[in-house]
Amino acid sequence: MIQWLIFIVVTISLAAGVYGISLLYRLRRRYRLEFLNSFFYFQVLVLIFGIYGILSSVGIRELLQQFEIERKSIEIIAQFLPFMGLPFIIAAWYMSLKMAGELVGKKVPGFIAIIYFTLCTAAFLIYGLLIRQIPEISKGDYDNLRHQVQIAFYTLEMGIVAYIAIYLLTHISVKSHKIRKSFISRFAFILVITTFLTAIALHFADVHPIFFMYFILLYFTGDLPLILLTKNYLEKNTYQFKNAIEPLEDLFQRYGISKREREIIRKISEGKTNKQISEELFITLQTVKDHNYNIYKKVGVKNRVQLVQKFSQSKNTNDQDSRIQNF
C-alpha cells in the first residue's frame, strides 16, 4: 500500500514540476526577460537532478534489495547516481544566483562565482572520496553516511538560498516601484520558506515514508508558488514592455536569426564596421563576414543599408532591454 502511495506522490510531483517548467517556458517566450531564462533553466536542471540523482538512486536501492546483493554494492551504486548528477544541481544553483542578480538588474559578482564553484568542486571531490570509502565502513554506518550526504546537500542549498534572499532584499533599488519591491520581497520570502521546509523533510526522509513523500512533493513542486507569483506579477505590470519588444523579436524568429546573428545585426545598426564587431564580440573578422552573408541570405537583402532598414526597430533595442530587465 505504501509503495503505491509513494508512486502516486512521485507521479503527481513530476507532473506538477513539468507543468511549472512549461509555464515558465511560456512566460519567457511572452515577456523575454533575462531572469525568466535563468529561472527556466534552473527549473529544468533541478528536474533532471531530481529524476537522475534522487528518484533513480532510491529506485535502484529498492530494486537491488530484492536480490541477493551485498549491501555495500547496493550503497555504492545508489550513491554513485547522485554523485554523477551533481553537475546538474551545481549548475542549477548557479542559475538561481544568476536569476537573483537579474531580478535586481545586476550580475553575479565575480568573487561570489569563484567562491561558489570552489565550494562545489570541494564538495564534489569529498563526495567522491566518501563513495570510495563505502567498502571499508561497517554495515551499520551505511545509513549514517547517507544521512551525512543529505545534511551536506540541504546545508549547501540553504546557504545559497540565504545569500539569494539577502542579496535580493539589500539590492532592491530605492527608486523601484512599490509593487516591484513587494514582488521581490515575497519572492525571497517564499524561496526561503520552501527551501527550509524541503530541508526538514529531507532530514527526516529515512525516519518514515511520509517524510520521504513530503520531500519529493516539495522538491519538485516547491518552486511552483514562485512561478505563479511571477506570472501574476508580470501579467499585471509588464504588458507594456511585451508590446514594445515583441515586433522585433517576431521579426528575428520569422527569419530564423540566431542569438549571435542578432548581436551582429545590432552592432551593424549602431554603425560598427566588421573589424569593430569582431573586436567587441571576440570573434575573427572572417567569422563576422560569414555571419553577415548568412544574415543577408536569411533576410533577403544585399547590403547593410537594406539590413538596417529591415531592422530599424533595433535602434531602440538596448533601451527596451534595459527597461525590461529592470521591469
Q: What does the pLDDT look like over 223-257, one tens digit per residue?
A: 999 999 999 998 887 654 444 444 566 677 778 88
pLDDT in tens, 118-161: 999 999 999 999 888 888 887 667 788 888 889 999 999 999 99
pLDDT (tens digit, 9 = 90+) per residue, 152-182? Answer: 999 999 999 999 999 999 887 655 678 888 9
Contacts of 183 (CB under 8 A, 6+ apart): 229, 230, 233, 237
Residues of the chain above pLDDT 90, percent = 48
**What pLDDT does 76 receive?**
87
Which amino acid is it at 26? R
- Sign of the dihedral defined by the CA atoms of residues 204, 206, 211, 212, in that order: positive
**Cell numbers found for residue 42:** 534552473
Measure CA 251 to chain center.
Answer: 27
Tell me how many degrees the CA angle 280-285-289 measures, rounded to the nearest 5.
110
| Residues forming CATH 1.20.1070 domain(s) in the chain | 2-237
Q: Where in the chain is the domain with CATH 1.10.10.10?
A: 245-325
pLDDT in tens, 5-41: 999 999 999 999 999 999 999 998 888 788 999 999 9
- DSSP line for 1-58: -HHHHHHHHHHHHHHHHHHHHHHHHHHHHHH--HHHHHHHHHHHHHHHHIIIIIIHHH
CATH code, residues 245-325: 1.10.10.10
Per-residue pLDDT at 325:
44
Cell 551504486 -> residue: 77
Please name the CATH architecture into which domain 2-237 falls. Answer: Up-down Bundle (1.20)
Retrieve residue 221's grid coordinates: 513542486
**Do 46 and 14 touch, CB atoms closer than 8 A?**
no
